[in-house]
């Protein structure tokens, strides 16, 4: 093969390698915001079929969390499907498994009538116990403005909305869907005064 043929072949091969390398290292087009938001949202199902008398409080507590955090969404489980959050009514003090619960895993929330009998607000109780499932520990003692202060502000407190710090902690726990891989604490937190 002549020197000229070698040079042509070498030049063509170099151009081909450079073109392929450029294509391999080119940055992918950024995803649009709606697909990013959807990909980052963790959906958790709850089953309240064993919590008669608590349906309205649970719905309000779920609505509060859904309105205040964007990367985790609580939905009622369809009959016959497995839920990540199992909610039951009991006669004791409210308690819950400390999360963050992972999709496909399960935690338990017990909504105890003993707290209601003593005058505590049902919606605050439900939202507070759901907060445990999402990974928030108690912040007792604390003011009424802290949902996770639980019973410490007294029976006059009806706040069922997480404050900025609580929202931020849940957002961090479920950032980019990472809660799917984060360990669940598994401790049971009993919310007696």
Task: Tell me the CB-side half-sphere exposure of residue 12, using CA atoms within 13 A.
Answer: 6
User: What's the first-to-final CA gap in the chain, in angstroms?
Assistant: 92
Residues present in the chain in total = 193
Catalytic residue among 84, 110, 129, 166: 129
Is there a contact between 102 and 91 (Cβ–Cβ < 8 Å)? no
Is there a contact between 142 and 149 (Cβ–Cβ < 8 Å)? yes
Specify whether 55 is catalytic: no
Cis amide prior to 144 (ω within 30 degrees): no
Provide the annotated active-site residues: 129
């Amino acid at each position: 093969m002549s020197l000229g043929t070698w040079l042509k072949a070498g030049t063509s091969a170099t151009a081909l390698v450079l073109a392929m390398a450029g294509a391999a290292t080119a940055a992918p087009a950024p995803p649009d915001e709606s697909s990013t938001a959807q990909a980052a949202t963790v959906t958790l199902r709850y089953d309240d079929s064993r919590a008669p008398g608590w349906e309205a409080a649970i719905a309000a507590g779920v609505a509060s969390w859904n309105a205040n955090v964007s990367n985790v969404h609580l939905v009622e489980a369809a009959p016959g499907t497995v839920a990540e959050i199992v909610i039951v009514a009991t006669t004791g003090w409210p308690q819950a498994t400390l999360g963050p619960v992972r999709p496909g895993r399960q935690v338990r929330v017990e909504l105890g009538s003993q707290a209601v009998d003593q005058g505590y607000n049902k919606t605050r109780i439900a939202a507070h116990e759901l907060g445990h499932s999402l990974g928030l520990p108690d912040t007792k003692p604390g003011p009424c403005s802290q949902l996770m202060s639980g019973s410490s502000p007294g029976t006059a407190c009806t706040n069922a909305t997480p404050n900025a710090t609580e929202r931020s902690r849940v957002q961090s726990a479920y950032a980019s869907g990472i809660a799917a891989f984060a360990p669940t604490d598994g401790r049971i937190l009993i919310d007696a005064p």
